[in-house]
Amino acid sequence: MKVALIGDTVGKPGRDIIGKYLAKIKAEHKIDFVVANYENASHGFGLTRKNCDELLGYGIDVMTGGNHSWDKKEVFELYDTHPLIRPINLPDDGVGEGIIIVNLLGHKVAVLNVMGNYTMPMADNPFIKIDRAVCELKEQGITHIIVDVHAEATSEKLAMMHILKERVSAIFGTHTHVGTDDLMVVDGCCYVTDIGLTGCRDGVIGMDKKIPIQRFMTSVGGHFDISKKCKTILQMVIFELNSEGRSTSAYKLKIYGNGQIVKTEGIVEHY
């Protein structure tokens, strides 16, 4: 089973480059399942129905969220009809679920979403919440488990890897929009601290650079916007799972707007 993971998809540039290249990449790399993070997909904040249908139409199978999951209120009704999840440690009384289970190639595949603590909205303890959820899945006999850890702090993501690596298939970090150079398969678990954004790569975390620079130079904020014209990138991790739900290999693709592709192999090791 071959799975592809796409990090934070930022605005129209992110959606457009997915639409341009994903189908081709899926065919060339024989990808069976695609997970992508949606929380910045509509104008940089949240997700609309139109953009949700657009991304799913490009070949994404499940979408995960984060601290902006509920920014667009029209997303509320989509959780019952579309393959969307939001962080599992957000309040249980809120809309949506933090886990989805799909049938794929004779296996049940669970995708979970959890949000970190540092600089994030109030939520339950992410480590305890995800640990309990994974234990329940294992008790049900589910071995193919993918976790999106949406967090600012790299330490939280690395700690999550050590807590879960022997029980889950993959852990991928999102939220910072800046890709990290630590892709690995450790003890049968595919791990990367942050995949990096899909969208504009010549601004500041996918946004037009004007307001971020103004904020840093003058302490005067403003509305973050997305450039109408920019240099784009699609970043994705592709990994292979065996019948026991253990990852055997992984690599990252960076697909630039001009069609250039950079491939990086992940190291396979044991801790």
Catalytic residues: 68
The angle at the Cα of 105, spanning 102 to 106, to the nearest 5 degrees, equals: 80
* Phi-psi label, residue 119: left if phi above 0, alpha if psi -120 to 50, beta otherwise: left
Contacting residues for 154 by C-beta, under 8 A, at least 6 apart: 173, 180, 193, 194
Q: How far apart are CA 182 and CA 57, in angstroms?
A: 31
Q: How far apart are CA 97 and CA 83, in angstroms?
A: 10
Mapping DSSP to helix (H, G, I), strand (E, B) and coil, where does residue 110 land?
strand
Q: Other CB atoms closer than 10 Å to residue 238's CB: what's the count?
A: 22
Question: Which phi and psi angles does 170 have, rounded to 5°?
Answer: -155, 145
Nearest to 233 by CA among 207, 253, 255: 255
Contacting residues for 232 by C-beta, under 8 A, at least 6 apart: 13, 14, 16, 17, 199, 200, 201, 256, 257
Q: How far apart are CA 99 and CA 112, in angstroms?
A: 4
